[in-house]
A and B are shown apart, each in its own frame.
Chain A
């Protein structure tokens, strides 16, 4: 996929879940459909309050790797962080 317009990243940031434009959906199919090796997940530290970013190895039984010490206090904030990282991986561009 060619590098999309950054306005689509803004659309995601405004509303990470719910109805999306078809252009944003195409990006999310790519991002969310990735295989298990290196897949981002959120590790719940406190229910409904605190999450950290984790990554799977793709191998059954391997502990979830904690990517950073950063604690997210909303799921939206964590979704945006994952979106930025995936944007960088797929399109080589830093957002923000």
Chain B
């Protein structure tokens, strides 16, 4: 029987809760009917029949049982809204102007700036017509008149645009002025036409940027793709010199004459507010996170940091497929009872033959836990990958994996339903990289049972579900362990880690805010022990929004292994002003934290490690107890058939590997799908594949810290997939058991 489409999905307002706190779950069934809900503790999400199989623990709770389902819609599309005002309503003559950089002209009608009443379909909107030419529409609710320049704008070029309405003359004039001219390209226009419709604008008519209010299912239509810089509304029919004069970033003196509003998007870049420098204070707010801290039309290239020249960053970039908060109503809630054990949980909902899981962390009760080890649930990584679309969007996907991509039900759903938003591995429809990601929407690859194209041969797991291999091993091993999310560490810093002496990380803890990285650094500096279980770790710097929950930013700046490249001049996070990109490019390579850093990747089959001379050092004896001298380590496993694979890391003293590091084992025998990462290559050279290049290997390392702590790093994403082999009786599982046991022993190292 073939699988049908997705029928139920949901998300939670929080990603981590402590006993006593409550969490809301928001569910949509895509047609009416009843669904059932229950609470589970997630243990092992891998359904591969070659492994131990799916494991969860049902937990009794108040919301368990049947619920009435209903459809909750998702409305994507970034835009900004300013509430109506008497000054708008009192306009007779007016000039509506902006500087715009469209990215998809010709891809349907798109509204740039609108003073528009959704219900009566009246007002005025300046936009692009279906052919991509500048147009203005005036409506009094009964009659509607549209004037167009008839000359399409060039994609990714700046234009000064304006609509000038003269009521007495009953004319509208459109100006479309390119900032760059080409021979044989005719994209400049000033036309005046007679119109017999006076736009109907009341004090309740909002001003909207990047879309048009509608009375339909979706609140905003005619969504715009591209940038808008320095929009202004004047209460006079300005001539061209008057329009260009008001393009100054800051209006002074007589420039302010006739100004109703002069929005300055360079104010409040780190907020969801937009600022009017005009006399009426027509401030507004953004919806669905238009991209800020982007270059305006006046960017000179002399300044790369928006904080140093904010007047050159007065633009916002709008996208029809950007989504922040789905905004669904709460379907049911949970107040976490006192004494509930810490772990990774999920609200599990089922509807007909479909199901969904809404995962979240339950933290330990502050001061009450006796566990000394904590597993860091890499929620920043889950957000970076949230609803990723590479197998359907990126031609290189099947080259990376050497496999035909497999699309499950959730993959097909996010492919067909772009309004559920994309990941920081995707591009928007207009080709710009997605630098914002939110968890306030169903994230359909952050799910147990989910299989992903990037997960190599075998179980084909990546990130969230692959991480359950580690959770399952912790559970099977019997070591007491609490769980914390990245957001906890970001918010509370080292305090969140205070009860613990051992941190154990995920298969791929790649995304770190400064607060998160500093917390781990401080933990190490008080003698804390770190077990880095994955590959490609401590790699990207990220920023969380300071007021909007569940929202994260990644600027793929400068260099590194990147799914897209940030534009020059746009390397600084809009949320915090911090410089984005690889931690390595900021002089803080992963080698400083865990001894190794990203060196090669491939996504076909995994390999094994062989012991290196350092593994026979007496300092490492405890790690190899019960393991033979010439045993291959991890030549088995559910992820590509080996412990060393997908993304692997190596030592590099120049990048900060401590001088006392023991290289215990290194992988070998990788295929040519494994390639040296981009940031290791200056001049391109042949022979960068696993069969030829000596750098293509992962290093398992151990070192003691000056404070009596220690670090152990596996340096491979595939590592966790080997833990359960042979009913957990294998050299990878044994090595981990040896390490955890010693790391939990308070006896100082060295």
Contact = CB atoms under 8 A, between A and B. Distances in A.
A45 B407 contact: no
B402 A17 contact: yes
A44 B399 contact: no
B137 to A, nearest CB: 27
B491 to A, nearest CB: 35
B395 A17 contact: no
Given A18-B671, A63-B416, A41 B405 contact: yes
B404 to A, nearest CB: 5
A47 B404 contact: no
B555 interface: no
Contacts of A44: 3, 406-409, 451
B399 A63 contact: no
Given A33-B398, A35-B395, A46-B3, A51 B691 contact: no
B286 to A, nearest CB: 24
A57 to B, nearest CB: 10
B457 A17 contact: yes
Interface in A64-89: 64, 75, 78-79, 82
B31 interface: no
Nearest to B409: A44
B49 A19 contact: no
Contacts of A78: 404
A32 interface: yes
Contact of B412 (A32, A36, A43, A48): A43
Given A36-B392, A44-B451, A56-B392, A17 B398 contact: no
A48 B49 contact: yes
Given A17-B457, A19-B691, A32 B402 contact: yes
Given A32-B399, A48-B48, A17 B605 contact: yes
Nearest to A60: B418
Chain B: interface size category? 35 or more
A44 B47 CA distance: 14
Given A18-B671, A19-B671, A33-B396, A42 B48 contact: no
Interface string B687-703: 00001000000000000
B19 interface: no
Nearest to B405: A41
A61 interface: yes
B682 interface: no
Contacts of A48: 47-49
A85 B514 CA distance: 50
Nearest to B640: A17
Most central of A19, A34, A79, A82 by chain B CB within 10 Å: A19
- In terms of DSSP, what is the predominant structure of the interface of chain B? loop
A47 B451 contact: yes
Contacts of A17: 402-403, 457, 604-605
B56 to A, nearest CB: 16
A75 B47 CA distance: 16
A25 B415 contact: no
A52 B92 CA distance: 63
Most central of B392, B396, B605 by chain A CB within 10 Å: B392
B1 interface: yes
B406 A61 contact: no
B393 interface: yes
Interface in B376-426: 389, 391-396, 398-399, 402-409, 412, 415-418
Interface string B705-749: 000000000000000000000000000000000000000000000
Given A44-B408, A46-B3, A39 B395 contact: yes
B405 A63 contact: no
A51 B402 contact: no
B404 A42 contact: yes
B672 interface: yes
Contacts of A62: 416
B175 interface: no
B416 to A, nearest CB: 6
A51 B406 CA distance: 8
Nearest to A43: B407
Given A19-B691, A60-B429, A61-B416, A54 B396 contact: no
B415 A33 contact: no
B295 interface: no
A44 B672 CA distance: 27
Given A17-B605, A32-B399, A48-B47, A41 B408 contact: no
B584 interface: no
Contacts of B586: none
A28 B402 CA distance: 8
B630 interface: no
Interface string B32-51: 00000000000000011100
A91 B605 CA distance: 28
Contacts of A63: 412, 416
Contact of B407 (A34, A35, A46, A64): A64
A19 B457 CA distance: 13
Contacts of B406: 41-44, 51, 75
A67 B364 CA distance: 51
Contact of A45 (B2, B395, B402): B2
A47 B395 contact: no
A57 B317 CA distance: 28
Contacts of B1: 45
A78 to B, nearest CB: 7
Contacts of B398: 32-33, 39
A-B pairs, 6 with minimum CB distance: A32-B398, A42-B406, A44-B408, A32-B399, A45-B2, A33-B399
23 contacts: A17-B402, A17-B457, A18-B671, A19-B672, A20-B672, A34-B395, A36-B395, A39-B395, A39-B398, A41-B407, A42-B405, A42-B406, A43-B406, A43-B412, A44-B451, A45-B2, A52-B2, A54-B407, A60-B393, A61-B417, A63-B416, A79-B403, A79-B404
Given A42-B405, A48-B48, A60-B393, 9 more contacts: A32-B399, A32-B402, A41-B407, A42-B406, A45-B3, A48-B47, A52-B2, A63-B412, A75-B403
